[in-house]
Structure 1
Amino acid sequence: MARLLTKYREEIIPRLREALGRDNVHALPKLEKIVVNMGLGKSIQERKRLDEATAHLATITGQKAQITKSRKAVSAFRLREGMEIGCRVTLRGQRMYEFLDRLITLALPRVRDFRGLNPDGFDGRGNYSMGLNEQVVFPEVNPDKVTFVQGMNITMVTSARTNDEGRLLLREMGLPFRKD
Structure 2
Amino acid sequence: MNRLKKHYEEIIRLDMIRKFNYVNPHMVPKIDKIIVNMGVKEAASDKKQILAPLLILELITGQKAIVTKAKKSISNFKIRKGFPIGVSVTLRGNNMYEFLSKLITLVLPKIRDFKGVPFTSINKYGHLAIGIKDLLVFPEIESEYDKFNRVYGANIVIVTTAKTKKEAGVLLSGFQIPLNKR
Settle same-fold status: TM greater than 0.5. Answer: yes
Q: Does the 8 Å CA contact 1:16/1:169 hold for their aligned counterparts?
A: yes
Q: Does 1:72 align with 2:68?
A: no
Give how far 1:148 is off: 1.8
Q: For 1:19-30, what aligned pairs fall within 5 Å after superposition?
A: 19-30=19-30
**Number of aligned positions between the proteins:** 180
Moved over 6 A (4+): none
| Alignment match, 1:130 | 130
Tell me the C-alpha RMSD between the 2 structures.
Answer: 1.2
More displaced 10-residue stretch of structure 1: 40-49 or 163-172: 40-49
Q: What is aligned with 1:96?
A: 96
> Partner residue of 1:169?
171
Write the deviation string for residues 50-86 of structure 1: whole angstroms up to 9, x where unpaired: 1010001001011000000001111111111100010
TM-score (ref. length: structure 1): 0.95
SS at the partner of 1:120?
helix
1:23 shift after superposition: 4.3
Q: Which runs of 5+ in 1 are unaligned?
A: none
Range with bigger deviation, 155-164 or 139-148: 139-148
SS in 2 for 1:80: coil
Separation in 1, partners of 2:59, 2:23: 40
State the partner residue of 1:145. Answer: 147
Q: Percent identity?
A: 41
Taking structure 2 as the reference length, the TM-score comes to 0.94
What is the aligned partner in structure 2 of residue 10 from structure 1?
10
Letter in 2 for 1:97: Y
Contact 2:47–2:84 (8 Å) recurs in 1: no
1:100 partner letter: L
SS in 2 for 1:37: strand
Task: Give the equivalent residue in structure 2 for 1:155.
Answer: 157
**How far off its partner does 1:49 sit?**
2.8
Instruction: Tell me the distance in 1 between the aligned counterparts of 2:49 and 2:101.
Output: 27
Counterparts of 1:178 and 1:102 in 2: how far apart (Å)?
A: 20
Is the Cα–Cα contact under 8 Å of residues 49 and 148 in structure 1 kept in the other structure?
no
Match of 1:49 in 2: 49
